[in-house]
Amino acid sequence: MELALIAASMFIAATIGANDIANAIGTTVGANILSYRKATALAGVSVVAGALLAGSNTIDTVGRGLLDTSSLELLTLSVALTCAASAVAIATYLSFPVSATQSVVGALAGTGLATGLALNSSVLFDIAVVWTLLPFFSAAMSFLSFFFYRGVFSRLFKQRAYTYERFIALLVAGSGILVSFSLGSNNIGNAVGTLVAQDVMNAESAIVLGALFIAIGALLFSKRVILTIGKGITQLDPLQAFVCQFSSSFTVFACTLIGIPVSLSQATVGSVVGVGLTKGTTSVNRRFIMRIVGSWIATPFLSGAVSYALIRLIA
């Protein structure tokens, strides 16, 4: 059963890479700063670095904070994680940027209900509040930051268009690295938190293996969602791409420091919407945004309901 849990955890890790990596580099590709292959390779390295250097904070929240998974059978946990990963995989195929964090939390909540284990309501409440506020905070930050940076850069690079373009390109690439680092540090807990809680692997080994599978998922399966983030919501110029990535990475990393696993998808979509609104409301694809929000709501409920049903069936 340990192998089944490891396989399910790595399935989660791969879907994080396939779906959430788009939030790190989708704007870079959408603004034509880097090609898809170069961007995913750069992001893969950055995700591994984030997981290894700053990924321990959210591991305990996922593994023991919401639900004490150490008391669950390995088969039960394997089923729950497989349900969570499957929900994200379906959304990835449909090109929707969703939250692996929400899917995992939904699956664990369904598992708790099915097995009779008490959920930590205070942790669940904290997570829910942060999830609700995150896209609005990220949107506001990117909206305001755009005007700030545009004013600063216009004064710094007057009549030096080529220098400005090269500088912004470097900023976009650099902020993409920062977002990828934040992704690795915040989301590694979703992939390996249960492995550590169950003492199947020690934290260091679990982080290394999970980071590797996040990078593999990013390199092989992330193109659909990258195009959604980069081009589907609004058209981005290089400065807007930089502002989006900086704003989302800041909000996610701040949550990492307090140990709350959050949705990079929500932070990034909020940032893209915020910077899109600087061009007016008509520049944002509102119908598509509503479909994305619908996928955010459906993902945790789907993973939770299927986990509950399957675990009750095998119990």
Model confidence at 207: pLDDT above 70: yes
**Residue 90: per-residue pLDDT:** 92
**Residue 60: per-residue pLDDT:** 62
The domain in which residue 75 lies consists of 2-314
Look-up of token digits 């990078």: 215
**Residue 232: per-residue pLDDT:** 78
**Residue 64: per-residue pLDDT:** 57
Percent of the chain predicted with pLDDT > 70: 94
Q: How many domains does the chain have?
A: 1
How many residues are there in the chain? 315
**Residue 251: per-residue pLDDT:** 82
> In Å, what is the CA distance from 154 to each residue of 22, 147, 148, 260?
29, 10, 10, 37
pLDDT in tens, 260-309: 767 778 888 899 899 999 988 888 888 888 888 888 889 989 999 999 99
**Residue 146: per-residue pLDDT:** 93
Confidence band (pLDDT; 50, 70, 90) for 73?
confident
> In Å, what is the CA distance from 224 to each residue of 24, 188, 275?
14, 22, 22
Contacts from 235-239 at CB under 8 Å and sequence distance 24+?
A: 235/30, 235/283, 236/27, 236/30, 236/31, 236/272, 236/275, 236/276, 237/31, 238/31, 238/33, 238/165, 238/168, 238/169, 238/172, 239/146, 239/149, 239/150, 239/153, 239/168
pLDDT in tens, 98-151: 877 788 888 888 988 888 877 777 777 777 787 788 889 899 999 999 999 999
Eight-class DSSP state of 69? G
Model confidence at 224: pLDDT above 60: yes
The mean pLDDT of the chain is: 84
Confidence band (pLDDT; 50, 70, 90) for 67?
low
Task: Tell me what the mean pLDDT of segment 22-33 comes to.
Answer: 79
Between 2-11, 40-49, 132-141, the lowest mean confidence (pLDDT) is in 40-49
| CB neighbours of residue 38 within 10 Å | 14
| pTM of the entire predicted model | 0.80
Confidence band (pLDDT; 50, 70, 90) for 206?
confident
Model confidence at 184: pLDDT above 70: yes
